[in-house]
Amino acid sequence: MKVVFFGCEPDHIEFLNRRIAERGIEIEAIYAGDRVSEVSQDIAKDADVVSVFVGSPILASDFDRFSNIKLITTRSTGYDHIDTEEAKKRGIPVAYVPSYGENTVAEHAFGLLLALSKRIYDGFEQIREQGDFRWGTMKGFDLKGKTLGVLGMGRIGFHAATIGNGFGMRVIAHDRMPNEERAKQGNFKYVSFDELLAQSDVITIHVSFNDTTEHLINEEAFAKMKKGAVIINTSRGGVIDTKALLAALQSGHLGGAGLDVLEEEGVVKDEMQFLLSNDAHEYDLKTVLANHVLVDMPNVIVTPHIAFNTKEAVERILETTLDNIEGFIRGDIKNLIPTS
């Protein structure tokens, strides 16, 4: 059985090869590049299983090239980079990693928040670039006593609430399926979406990306936020309307943003490929330009989609992916994506 892995780093390949051997999984593992659309036909035509990460989308047009494919397994919790409707039409199951790092991503969210609230990056840059140890312009703000709004109270959101409690913050949350028992356990209160926007000093986003959450944080939402509030996004870039975010920051209504994800981040990561492609019409060029402006703003911290990327979390992701493949071989596929 041939399994083609896309978007693996060298240490991922080393780990996978070792664990495949240790677990005695009888597969031929092929490691391709990042782009599913560019894999050679020799590899694609007889691939039984395809494993991708978020930077390796599988579009409807890619399915014809994989004429033998029987399973897609993504090494992520989100699966919006896969055309699941096309997979469903063709009877191809899609598996994912439902949980790998609720603490990992929540910790990164607070890393971004602390970098903003304590002016850590600004201070470091001032010393490194200017040799200037003056502190007068580096005034931050305390987290203790502030209101943390958690948008999306799943596994990651719950851990973010726990961390917020540890900092002495008042924690409120909004979720489409409130669980009062969970609220008691996590010492937070459920509120409406508008109440969360209006009350929060800090909003951290932990929702999945779909039709109902695309541009959930838009011009109208920013207008309802406290003046000077800070927003943190470690979920998906498309949850925030980038142009509205830029306007809120430039007007001074929004105090800052910590972003591990961006809209159109694939273009920003590989602009040369974008310029050479014929697919420019598929992208919002104003959003791409806005991302560049955001990166240069002094009250914005941007990291390259690395909230998941710790040794422990990556190993959990890879182990779960092997569980999914092994389950498929046994005829008992693990972790199929939810169906509506």
What is the mean pLDDT of the segment spanning 278-296? 71
- State residue 279's pLDDT score: 54
**Tens-digit pLDDT profile for residues 297-333:** 999 999 999 999 999 999 999 999 999 999 999 999 9
**Tens-digit pLDDT profile for residues 123-175:** 888 888 889 898 888 899 999 999 999 999 999 999 999 999 999 999 999 99
- State residue 267's pLDDT score: 57
**HEC letters along the chain:** CEEEECCCCHHHHHHHHHHHHHHCCCCEEEECCCCHHHCCHHHHCCCCEEEECCCCCECHHHHHHCCCCCEEEECCCCCCCECHHHHHHCCCCEECCCCCCHHHHHHHHHHHHHHHHCCHHHHHHHHHHHCCCCCCCCCCCCCCCCEEEEECCCHHHHHHHHHHHHCCCEEEEECCCCCHHHHHHHCCEECCHHHHHHHCCEEEECCCCCCCCCCCECHHHHHHCCCCEEEEECCCHHHECHHHHHHHHHHCCEEEEEECCCCCHHHHHCHHHHHHCCCHHHCCHHHHHHHHHHHCCCCEEECCCCCCCCHHHHHHHHHHHHHHHHHHHHCCCCCECCCC
Q: How far apart are CA 127 and CA 134, in angstroms?
A: 9
What is the mean pLDDT of the segment spanning 254-273? 76
Which residues are known to be catalytic? 236, 265, 305
Higher-confidence position of 104 and 291: 104
Whether residue 268 is predicted with pLDDT greater than 80 in this model: the reply is no
Neighbour order of strands in the sheet with 28-31 = 28-31, 2-5, 49-52, 71-74, 94-95
**Tens-digit pLDDT profile for residues 14-56:** 999 999 999 999 999 999 988 898 888 888 889 999 999 988 9
Q: What is the model's pTM?
A: 0.86
Confidence of residue 271 (pLDDT cuts 50, 70, 90): very low
**Tens-digit pLDDT profile for residues 72-114:** 999 998 898 999 999 999 999 999 999 888 899 999 999 999 9
The domains located in the chain, with CATH, are 2-100+310-330 (3.40.50.720), 102-302 (3.40.50.720)
Confidence of residue 275 (pLDDT cuts 50, 70, 90): very low
